[in-house]
Structure 1
Amino acid sequence: MSTFEVRRSAVIPAPAEEIFPLVNNFHEWTRWSPWETIDPGMSRRYFGSGSGAGAGYEWSGNRKAGSGSMEIMESVPSRLIRIRLQFTKPFKALNPTSFTFTPAPGGTEVTWSMTGENKGLGKVFALFMDMDKMVGADYKRGLAALASTVAARKS
């Protein structure tokens, strides 16, 4: 069985206390997530608590956006968020995802990572697509947008 990990980090010039709430609440993801613009007609449903452990989000969109759900499984204020990311379309996959927030010179290093297994259709897909390159570029864009969102809130 083949497994993969996608991981990207960026230093955002702000304390973790200012960045963390933007990730810990799925309602805030519309402001910075790299996938929010893929399908303007995408339907979203929020469930569970508003933020932190138990907060959930489901989406269903066009062929590119696919459909699935995310639920925050663990939330340690200003340090760690673990998410259960489940895709239902274009193929079924369960991808544990996490964000870590670490003090760094000039701000906070935010690391976004996702792990998974290539099996079934995902295994065929992995033969042609490099998950790290494909998702890594999205993560990089998302972290840059997260930094811009934090900066905009300050001004």
Structure 2
Amino acid sequence: MLKFFFLVLMVVVALLIYTATRPDTFRITRATLVKAQPDTLFALINDLRRHAAWGPWESLDPAMKRVYSENSRGVGASYAWVGNHQAGTGRIEITESVPDERVRMKLDYLQPFEAHNSVEFTLDRQGETTLVTWSMQGTNNFMGKLMGLLFSDRLIGGMFEKGLSNLKALAESATPAVLERS
């Protein structure tokens, strides 16, 4: 029994040492090709109210409460949310908006844990399709490094993949009338 205890202790210590040597920053990126032009995708990404139609976290709490800024599009647009333990609590704000090319956002996640990250969507026209890249980057404290070893890229990356799939389906079926609605 004592040998087992020391073996477990050594594994835990090794994991903690390895965690401490991990980078202080992280970046998670996913991309997909969409059969739509950049302006169609830009309209869906640059308007925070439209995220409810494709955002992967939206389905985690159907009763999530959202508060939007007066303008939901472009630089300065923001929304805050309060959701269940899966959706959490936070705020996102558009910090850069380059039509048909890029949207950058500041993400402040407050609960169940605190994190302050940058989010970026880039749109790269490739003939009749557009490569949409969604990335998030930020800093890692020790707990962030430990969580990153176990969950971050798979968990967040999986949510990005789901969101990009939703965005693709919406953009590929969108009509001009749908895109003009606020």
**TM-score calculated relative to the size of structure 1:** 0.93
Q: Distance in 1 between matches of 2:109 and 2:90?
A: 4
Q: Which amino acid aligns with 1:96?
A: S
Partner residue of 2:166? 145
Following superposition, which runs of at least 4 residues in structure 1 exceed 3 angstroms of deviation? none
Deviations 1:83-118 (A, max 9, x none): 000100011111100000001144100000000122
Structure number having the greater helix percentage: 2
Q: Residue 73 of structure 2: SS of its match in structure 1?
A: coil
In structure 2, runs of 5+ residues without a counterpart are 1-22, 177-182
Q: Distance in 2 between matches of 1:135 and 1:2?
A: 18
Q: Which amino acid aligns with 2:73?
A: S
109-118 or 119-128: bigger deviation: 119-128
C-alpha root-mean-square deviation of aligned residues, in Å? 1.6
The CA deviation at 1:152 is: 2.4
Pick aligned residue for 1:41 from 39, 63, 71? 63
Q: Does 1:86 align with 2:93?
A: no
**TM-score calculated relative to the size of structure 2:** 0.80
The CA deviation at 1:128 is: 3.0
The answer to whether the 8 A contact 1:72-1:82 is kept is yes
Partner residue of 1:50? 72
Q: Taking every aligned residue pair, what percent have the same amino acid on both sides? A: 36
Q: Does 1:67 align with 2:50?
A: no
Partner residue of 1:31? 53
Deviations 1:56-92 (A, max 9, x none): 0101111111110000000000001010001000111
- Give the aligned length: 154
The answer to whether the 8 A contact 1:83-1:98 is kept is yes
Deviations 1:2-53 (A, max 9, x none): 2111001111001101110100001000100010000111110101423000
